[in-house]
């Protein structure tokens, strides 16, 4: 299956409620993102089985943790994910971190074999810098389809996004809602008031308007799931975009406002 990403993805970190997972799939999210590290692949699998949505109507992605990336471990790890998810094919399989057992040649050889046999449709990586991704592209066959990185108005990842565009790699963005702290950014609040919406919708709309970027948003309730989808109807104007772009250029100014963004595995 060729990778064709929608404008927004459903992130399932910390979600084990099968009803909520099912609701997200049935609401029309066309990309569902999980990981072995999340410990919820079985719940996601139950939701896939329960949802009144054909399996081919959404992209299913998961990630292998860094202790399962040795050549001899990858196939067994993927079999475990397939069993927990209750599917025959994973549309997008990420390397969660370039750490631990990750070796670009051996790990990606195993990933290539999974693609060749049809168990995996696309190879993805996560938390890869341009330099590490460049090496991965030498070994991935046919290519690395996506790199999932933390990206939001205070961490705009211009260098990675430019590299991805040059090399034909999709950017999937985790943490687009600043870990639930979008409302702490007054500039986002001003734009939200202007458009009669929320700071979260503004942050998502900004990410969606970036070339080649798909934000992956989680939710604690069905209303949050719907609010995230509402961002699809929000079109920011040039002034809005410039205001948000400026946040990335002046991030140090937020120290005095008590805004602290601490990247970490708890939000992947």
- Torsion angles phi and psi, residue 67, rounded to 5: -90, 5
Two structure tokens written together for 160: 């990675």
Two structure tokens written together for 267: 């939000």
**Positive or negative, the Cα torsion across 23, 26, 28, 31?**
positive
- Under 8 Å between Cβ of 138 and 105: no
**Is 38 one of the catalytic residues?**
yes
**What 3-state DSSP class applies to 253?**
helix
Residue ranges of the alpha helices (H) in the chain? 18-27, 41-50, 71-85, 104-117, 130-139, 158-167, 186-195, 199-208, 222-230, 238-249
Closest residue by Cα to residue 125 from 152, 77, 93, 168: 93
How far apart CA 16 and CA 47 sit, in angstroms, is: 10
Q: Name the catalytic one among 29, 31, 38, 174.
A: 38
Closest residue by Cα to residue 138 from 159, 156, 112: 112
Which residues are designated catalytic?
38
């Amino acid at each position: 299956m060729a990778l064709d990403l929608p404008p927004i993805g459903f992130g399932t970190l910390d979600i084990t409620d099968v009803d909520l997972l099912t609701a997200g799939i049935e609401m029309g999210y066309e990309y569902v993102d999980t990981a072995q590290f999340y410990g919820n692949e079985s719940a996601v699998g139950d939701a896939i089985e329960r949802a009144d949505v054909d399996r081919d109507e959404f992209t299913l992605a998961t990630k292998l943790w860094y202790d399962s990336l040795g050549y001899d471990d990858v196939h067994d790890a993927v079999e475990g994910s397939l069993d927990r998810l209750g599917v025959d094919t994973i549309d997008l399989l990420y390397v969660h971190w370039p750490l631990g057992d990750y070796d670009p040649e051996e790990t990606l050889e195993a990933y290539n074999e999974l693609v060749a046999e049809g168990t995996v449709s696309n190879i993805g990586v996560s938390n890869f810098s341009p330099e590490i991704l460049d090496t991965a592209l030498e070994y991935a066959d046919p290519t690395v389809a996506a790199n999932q990185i933390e990206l939001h108005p205070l961490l705009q990842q211009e260098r990675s996004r430019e590299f991805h565009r040059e090399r034909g790699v999709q950017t999937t963005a985790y943490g687009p809602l600043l870990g639930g702290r979008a409302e702490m950014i007054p500039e986002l609040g001003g734009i939200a008031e202007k458009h009669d919406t929320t700071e979260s919708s503004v942050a998502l709309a900004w990410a969606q308007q970036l070339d080649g970027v798909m934000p992956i948003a989680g939710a604690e309730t069905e209303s949050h799931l719907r609010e995230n989808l509402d961002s699809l109807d929000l079109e920011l104007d040039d002034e809005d975009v410039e205001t948000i772009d400026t946040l990335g250029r002046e991030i140090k100014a937020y120290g005095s406002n008590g805004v602290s963004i601490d990247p970490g595995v708890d939000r992947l």
